[in-house]
A = this chain, B = another copy of it.
Amino acid sequence: MTLKPTKTVVAPANGTSGTRAEPPSSNRAARAAERRQAIIEAALEEFIARGFAATRLDDIAKRAGVAKGTIYLHFKDKESMFEELVRLVIVPVVERLTKLPPPAGSVRDLVEVFASTFLREVASTRRGDLVRLIVAEGPRFPAVADFYYREVVQRGIAGMRALIELGIARGEIREKGLAKFPQILVAPVLISVIWQSLFERHAPLDAQAMLRVHLDLIFGERRTT
């Protein structure tokens, strides 16, 4: 449950840090941090691809380019690796989103910018699959579901609700009941994420377009596109 703040290893003076498989970087601590990062990324890929139970630590190690034992220098066991992983990936996303919008312009613009950013940065990336992973494993990992609820869902709902109430107050939103169910606002975004994972090859979905239609429903049709 402790958060292990990713060992904010300040990139060593030489600029050669960063991407994987780099030649031996400056000091030991930095190399360790690199390995850790490689493990995290590899684990995320594997967990997303196979789910928790079907993921083999062997594969994670191989993908990360480390020995199996090395994983245990960074994580207590498979289970806590999974839980910590979710935190490690979610936290920076949440941080970015919370400090995002300089609240200017109409509520609709605000929502649209926000949702578009989310779609761009989450829905169509590995992090989108993470959402599906949480949906999939949540019931078996209450700690993960709890964390996700507290850090993402609850805050998200609260933020949406504030926006909706602002919209209602300003007359941008007609449907007053919406304030009770901010989930409706983000429903299509979640649908997009899941759709991409499961049905993209059957029928691609233009998430951005769908989002605009949804916002039209809420805010009324746009005059100027």
Identify the A interface with B (CB < 8 A).
49-54, 132, 134-140, 145-146, 148-149, 153-154, 174-175, 177-178, 180-181, 183-184, 187-188, 190-191, 194-195, 197-199, 202-203, 205, 209-210, 212-214, 216-218, 221
What CA separation (Å) do A203 and B145 show in the bound complex? 13
When the two chains form the complex, which single residue of B50, B138, B181, B197 contacts A213, counting CB atoms closer than 8 Å?
B181
Q: List 14 A-B contacts (CB under 8 A).
A: A50-B140, A52-B53, A134-B198, A135-B198, A138-B197, A138-B198, A146-B202, A149-B198, A153-B199, A177-B216, A180-B210, A181-B210, A183-B195, A187-B188
Chain B residues lying within 8 Å of A194, measured Cβ to Cβ, are 135, 190
Closest B residue to A190 using CB positions: B191
How far is the CB of A177 from the nearest CB of chain B, in Å? 4
How far is the CB of A52 from the nearest CB of chain B, in Å? 8
Chain B residues lying within 8 Å of A153, measured Cβ to Cβ, are 199, 202
Chain B residues lying within 8 Å of A178, measured Cβ to Cβ, are 213, 217
Chain B residues lying within 8 Å of A205, measured Cβ to Cβ, are 183
What CA separation (Å) do A209 and B184 show in the bound complex? 11
What CA separation (Å) do A134 and B191 show in the bound complex? 14
Known: A136-B137, A184-B214. 13 other contacts (CB 8 A): A132-B139, A135-B135, A135-B198, A149-B202, A153-B199, A153-B202, A181-B209, A181-B210, A183-B210, A184-B188, A187-B187, A190-B190, A190-B194
Closest B residue to A144 using CB positions: B198
Closest B residue to A213 using CB positions: B177
Chain B residues lying within 8 Å of A138, measured Cβ to Cβ, are 197-198
Chain B residues lying within 8 Å of A203, measured Cβ to Cβ, are 154
**By CB atoms of chain B within 10 A, which of A51, A140, A209, A212 has the most?**
A51
